[in-house]
Amino acid sequence: MSINKRTIASIEAQAKSILDLAQHDTNDYESAVKMITACRGKLIFTGMGKSGIIARKLAATFSSTGVPSFFVHPGEAYHGDLGMIEAADVLFAFSNSGETTELINLLKYSRSKSVIGMSNNHNSTLASFATVHLECTVDKEICPLNLAPTTSSTAALVIGDAICATIMEMSNFSEEDFAALHPGGSLGKSLLTKAKNLMITEVPFVNPTDSLHEVLLRISEGRLGLACIGSKNDVLGVITDGDIRRAIEHTENSKSLVAEQMGSKNPIFIEPETGLHQMNLLFRQKKIVSVLVGSSNDLKGVVQFYDIHDG
C-alpha cells in the first residue's frame, strides 16, 4: 500500500470509529451541559498526557466561546495548584483508561465535587468520582500497535467540541459575541470591521445630462474608478470605467453620450454595519469592485474590493 493510501485509510478508520461511537452513544449529555451552564464558578479542564492536551485545547475553545475556562495540570495540582480550584467550579476530567493516578489524586483532594468525567469505561475509577460520566470508547487506535492514543483522543475532542457547540446554540452566542472575544488577527478583523470603517466618504457626482468629457473628469478627480449620478440625497445611478467603455463600444458618436446613458440605474447598496465577510462574498458573487454604502436617498460612501483586502 502506498503512503498516500495508507494515510487516507487511517483517516477513514478514525472517521468510521467516530461514526460508530455516535451511533451507539448513550451518554447523558443533557446533564453535562446543564452542569456547565449552571456553574457559578469556572469550568476547569484537567488530564494527563494526550488526554491533557485534549483538555487544554477544549479549555481554550470553551473560553473563546463565552464559558470562563482554564486548564489545570493534575501533577501540578497535587503540588499546590489545587488552590486554583474552588467549590463553585466544575471539573471536566479526561483519562482514556480512567485510572490515571495523578488525575485520581486531584479528584480526591479537590474542593469541587462537581465533576464531568470522560473515560472509556463507566466502571472506571474516574467514573466513580464523576457526577456525570461520559463514556468514550473506540474499537481500536489507528496506531499500528493499537497503543498510542490516536482515535481515542480524536473521539474525546469531538465529544468535547460537540458539547461546546450545543452550549453556544443554547446561549444564542452570536458573531458579535465571538468578535468581542477575538479582537486580534485576521479573524478579529473579519468580524469587527464594518463597511462604515472602510468606506470612502468623498464620492464624485455628475448630473444626468453631463457629457462624457465631464464624467471622465469627475471620475479622474475622484480616483475611485466611478462617479454617482445625482446627489448624495438622490442617487440615480452609478458610472464605472467599465460602463464607459461598454457605452463607447455601442455608440457611433461617443461625443454625444451623457451620464444617464452610461450608468447603471440600479446600483448595489449595503448597510454601514455590513461585515467584512459579507462584503467579500458580495464582491465575488456579483463580480464587482465597488459598492455603495447607505441608500439612494442617503449615500454614506463607497467601499472597494481592494480596501477589504488591504493588510
Which pLDDT does position 310 carry in this prediction? 62
Which pLDDT does position 185 carry in this prediction? 67
Of the listed ranges 19-33, 65-79, 158-172, 239-253, the least confidently predicted one is 239-253
Give 51-99 as a DSSP string. HHHHHHHHHHHHHHTT--EEE--HHHHTTTGGGG--TT-EEEEE-SSS-
SS3 string, 179-219, reads HHHCCCHHHHHHHHCEHHHHCECCCCEECCCCEHHHHHHHH
Segment 220-245 shows an average pLDDT of 94
The answer regarding whether domain 195-308 maps to CATH 3.40.50.10490 reads no
Q: 311: pLDDT confidence band, cut at 50, 70 and 90?
A: very low
Which pLDDT does position 158 carry in this prediction? 97
Domain spans in the chain, listed from the N-terminal domain onward: 3-173, 195-308
Residue 176 C-alpha cell reads as: 458579535
Q: 227: pLDDT confidence band, cut at 50, 70 and 90?
A: very high
Q: Is 140 exposed, middle or buried (0-12, 13-18, 19+ CB in 10 A)?
A: exposed
Please state the CATH superfamily assignment of the domain spanning residues 3-173 in this structure.
Glucose-6-phosphate isomerase like protein; domain 1 (3.40.50.10490)
Which pLDDT does position 251 carry in this prediction? 86
Q: For residue 72, give the nearest of 82, 64, 62 by alpha carbon.
A: 82
Look at residue 224 and tell me whether its pLDDT is greater than 90: yes
Question: What percentage of the chain reaches a pLDDT higher than 90?
Answer: 84
CB under 8 Å to 65, separation ≥6 — which residues?
164, 167, 168, 173, 178, 181
